[in-house]
Amino acid sequence: MTQREAALAGKITPAMKQAAASEGVAPEVIRQGLALGTVALPANREHRGLKPAAIGAGVRVKINANIGTSPHDISMEKEQAKLAAALEYGADAVMDLSTGGNLDEIRTALLAQCPAPFGTVPIYQVMTEADSLDDIKADDLLDMVHHHARQGVDFVTVHCGVTRAALPLLSKRVTGVVSRGGAFLTAWMRRYGRENPLYEHYDRLLEIAREYDVTLSLGDGLRPGCLADATDKAQLHELKVLGELTRRAWAKGVQIIVEGPGHLPLNAIQKNVRLQQKHCGGAPFYVLGPLVTDVASGYDHIAGAIGGALAATLGAAFLCYVTPAEHLKLPEVEDVIDGVVASKIAAHAADIARGLPGAADWDLKMSQARRALDWDTQIKLSINPDKARRYRDLSRAKEDQCTMCGRFCAMKVFDERFDAE
């Protein structure tokens, strides 16, 4: 029985209880969300030591950190350091997107060290291990999903919505297809003149997911890679297909997350969130950023956090972090930290804006510490205490001052004046 099937039967599982405890809500809240499909609880039966996290309506906005090797940078130690950093700084989930080295060995090692929900993109391994498109058959794609599920992966990105009907809609795009999985599948369909196997054999995919209770993260293989392509016909065609696939999965007891853009101007974010909610029945929306400008190279974590804060305020449930290295290179450990912190700020800001109970308590405690000029407490409450401590130590300020205002500190002057009166 999957988490969704248990929820539909009125049963509360240990995973639901754990997730509820971490949210400070009643387990029934999680159960109801799972039954409705508005909450996902990625929890593969084979993932030992997992601390389940609920994603969706009525709980904190969650953030995901992508790590993984590339053909140009293969270091198990570096990826393990990225994993540790992502978890330390607040990532709620981690995805291994490795495309270089022994992928089974890398994934097994990372999964064993990851108590958070762990995701992958199985098609990457198919692409990595094949010499050419001629070597890849439909069964290879489905067998690889089964392989990852058997290893304990909690959620998998599968680009099932990239169909042959969408191919003619791509001709006028500025950046074409920017999803690696989406690009591979469009090339495969053109090469063989056949439908996307992940769409054609979706029922078999659902059987695999149900067997291990793997959550399907329906990938947006046709997401816009620039503002000029945002909300175009290809993107919307895929979204409608994902809505159909969401309902088919729910009917089979399989949990669903729906992935979204990508690059969107700020004024298009509300429309995109509303369209996803309409077509996908309120399934948790997992967005990459979205990046609100195309020119922020080196600062894309900021562009993504701006879009993520708005998208989550409007209803997105899961933010895929963006690092400063986006569009430029494989991220280093420091890039991972910057990406996680930026997305965590966005998620927290959205929780406050949505009125999530208790979300603003953290901010109130910080404000009280600032009023009291309690620097140690301010640092402890900071979203990145290490950086806050480093800045404070560099200032060499007096104990009750900072080097910005010194003796002209507004709070100090106000309190002294107020006390004098």
**Do 335 and 213 fall into the same domain?**
yes
Q: What is the pTM of this model?
A: 0.94
**How many CB atoms lie under 10 A from the CB of residue 281?**
16
**Do 387 and 302 fall into the same domain?**
no
For the stretch 321-337, what's the b/e string if a residue is b when 16 or more beta carbons lie within 10 angstroms of its beta carbon?
bbbbbbeeebbbbebbb
**How many Å apart are CA 33 and CA 283, to the nearest integer?**
10
pLDDT category at 419 given cuts 50, 70, 90 is low
Of 320, 353, 386, at which residue does a domain stop? 353
Count of domains forming the chain: 2
**Do 66 and 181 fall into the same domain?**
yes
Placement of tokens 């988490």 in the chain: 3
Of 298, 331, 353, at which residue does a domain stop? 353
Contact yes or no for 123/141 (Cβ under 8 A)? yes
What is the per-residue pLDDT across 76-86, written as a single tens digit (0 to 9) for each? 999 999 999 99
Residue 221, pLDDT above cutoff 80: yes
**Do 189 and 134 fall into the same domain?**
yes
**Do 224 and 319 fall into the same domain?**
yes
Contact yes or no for 15/30 (Cβ under 8 A)? no
The three-point CA angle 151-157-161 to 5° equals 140
**Do 119 and 65 fall into the same domain?**
yes
Structure tokens at 218: 């329906």
**Do 298 and 395 fall into the same domain?**
no
Give the CATH number for residue 106: 3.20.20.540
Residue 418, pLDDT above cutoff 60: no
**Do 260 and 369 fall into the same domain?**
no
**Do 293 and 374 fall into the same domain?**
no
For the stretch 49-71, what's the b/e string if a residue is b when 16 or more beta carbons lie within 10 angstroms of its beta carbon?
ebebbbbbbbbbbbbbbbbbbee
Of 353, 369, 386, at which residue does a domain stop? 353
Q: Of 132 and 338, which is predicted with more confidence? A: 338
Contact yes or no for 94/42 (Cβ under 8 A)? no
Structure tokens at 397: 């300020």
**Do 332 and 368 fall into the same domain?**
no
What is the per-residue pLDDT across 15-34, written as a single tens digit (0 to 9) for each? 999 999 999 999 999 999 99
Domain span at residue 141?
A: 3-353
**Do 251 and 219 fall into the same domain?**
yes
**Do 314 and 376 fall into the same domain?**
no
